[in-house]
Structure 1
């Protein structure tokens, strides 16, 4: 009885995770510049991957696999924002900012010309 409920719940969570991952993939393909693509990949991708790992934790009936899946979700939620920040910072430092759609550049106005980002 409880096993059937966990399998159905895991299936629903897996479908939700796959949907978020699909939305992230479409966002990476369709959005215009690096910053918006990175936003789609980091937000929807992390949620999609986390939900898929949560579905694995629900469907498997082994505590070791469920623990590894939960640790994977925690690792994903901790590392995805850091990676997105580093990609955005590297892109900001390398590319010409006049070609992007930024209206206000807060980093340029807060730093002195001689200081690194």
Structure 2
């Protein structure tokens, strides 16, 4: 009974985080905000859902696979979001009109692809 409650709570919470990610993708105005929302919320959502599945089945093989998938998702999702955002920036995709700061403005050379750290 207790494991069912824990697994249900984890899976429902994970589903809610994935719902938040989906809403963020639909509602945010530019690709940079969308990538941020999807990376953060979906990573946590998938992790919680897989943890709930591991609690539900309570088998070593499933738990090991769930942990391996969680580690893989936690490592790859932020990297993928970063690379997608970087590709968008280098391709000239504009920031949202109401964005306050473009921290890369003047630091990125589109000809060479170099990014300087000068202030």
1:64–1:95 distance in 2 versus 1, CA, 3 Å: same
Are 1:20 and 2:17 matched, yes or no? yes
**Two-structure CA RMSD over aligned residues (Å):** 1.9
Partner of 2:106: helix, strand, or coil? helix
Greater fraction of residues in helix: 1
Q: CA deviation at 1:100?
A: 4.8
Q: Any gaps of 5 or more consecutive residues in structure 2?
A: 115-119
Counterparts of 1:1-117 in structure 2, within 5 Å, are 4-97=1-94, 100-112=97-109, 114-117=111-114
TM-score (norm 2): 0.85
**2: distance between equivalents of 1:15 and 1:112?**
45
Q: CA deviation at 1:72?
A: 0.6
1:31-90 Cα offsets, whole Å, 9 max, x none, are: 111111111110001110110011011111210011100111111100011001100000
Q: CA deviation at 1:98?
A: 6.7
Q: Any gaps of 5 or more consecutive residues in structure 1?
A: none
